[in-house]
Amino acid sequence: MEHPSAIRPETQAVFQAEKMGKATLFRSDRLMVGLNAFEPGQEHALHAHEAMDKVYYVLEGEGLFLLEGRELPMEQGVMLVAPEGVPHGIRNSGEARLVVLAVLAPSP
């Protein structure tokens, strides 16, 4: 993908039957923008990042943000910030596909 250009991120989603799909939309030393794509029942396990903040923005579907000791409902238009060191993950608990934009800074 060539940047700068205007795109609809959800059209770049990659789904996989066996695990969460990932697509990188942009990457530099300072920033990474990607998509996480979930079939119903798929999950991105609880994890944390050192020296990196992450923003999730739900483009399509619904599910749960997993946080250490908590589960927060997610649906289209909802955003979650996971600062450095905060354990986080995602579960598609809905009946349809789930597409989440992920922004990481600095880039991994």
Provide the terminal-to-terminal Cα distance of the chain, rounded to the nearest Å. 19
Could you read off the pLDDT of 13-69 as tens digits, one per residue? 999 999 999 999 999 999 999 999 999 999 999 999 999 999 999 999 999 999 988
Domains of the chain with CATH codes: 9-91 (2.60.120.10)
Dihedral angle computed from the Cα positions of residues 56, 60, 65 and 71, in that order, rounded to the nearest 10 degrees: 150
Could you read off the pLDDT of 92-106 as tens digits, one per residue? 999 999 999 999 999
